[in-house]
Amino acid sequence: MEHQGEFLFADGAAPELHVPDPRSGFYEEVSALWQIPVGQMVQVDLTGHNLSHLEGRLDLAHAPELPLNRREALALRIGTIEFSQRQVSAWSLR
C-alpha cells in the first residue's frame, strides 16, 4: 500500500509554501518613504553622473540608517553602478 502525502486545507487562494523574503517589507517601507521603486525592474535617468540612463533591478547599495529619514540621501545601485536617489531625475517601471 502506498503512503498518501499531506493535504493542505485552506480557505481562499493556495497558501504560499516558500519563506517570504524578509527584505520585502523593508523595501516597501523605503520605497514608500523615498517614493522610488526599490527591488523592482526600472529605467532611470540620472543627472550629475557619468551615465545618464540605466535599466535593471533597482537595489539598495547601502541600507539607510535607522530610523528612516527621508532627508538623508538614499544609496542605490543597478547592477554594479551606484548612485544617489538625488541623482535620479526620472524613473519608470519595466
Q: Three cell numbers at 65? A: 540608517
How much is the pLDDT for 20? 63
In this prediction, residue 88 carries a pLDDT of 95
Q: Does the residue 63 lie in any domain?
A: yes
Q: Does residue 3 sit within a domain? A: no
Q: Are 83 and 77 in contact (CB under 8 A)?
A: yes
CB-based burial label for 58 (10 Å; 0-12, 13-18, 19+) = buried
Does some domain include residue 70?
A: yes
47's grid cell: 543627472
What pLDDT is attached to residue 50?
87
pLDDT at 12: 66
- pLDDT means per 10 residues in the chain (94 residues)? 61 65 78 93 93 94 90 94 95 94
36: domain range?
23-93
Does residue 30 sit within a domain?
yes
User: What's the confidence (pLDDT) of residue 17?
Assistant: 67
How far CA 21 is from CA of 26, 28, 57, 71, in Å, comes to: 10, 12, 16, 27
- Identify whether 7 is part of a domain: no
* 65 inside domain: yes
- CATH number of the domain residue 78 falls in: 2.30.30
pLDDT at 2: 61
Phi then psi for 53, rounded to 5 degrees?
-150, 130
- Total domain count for the chain? 1
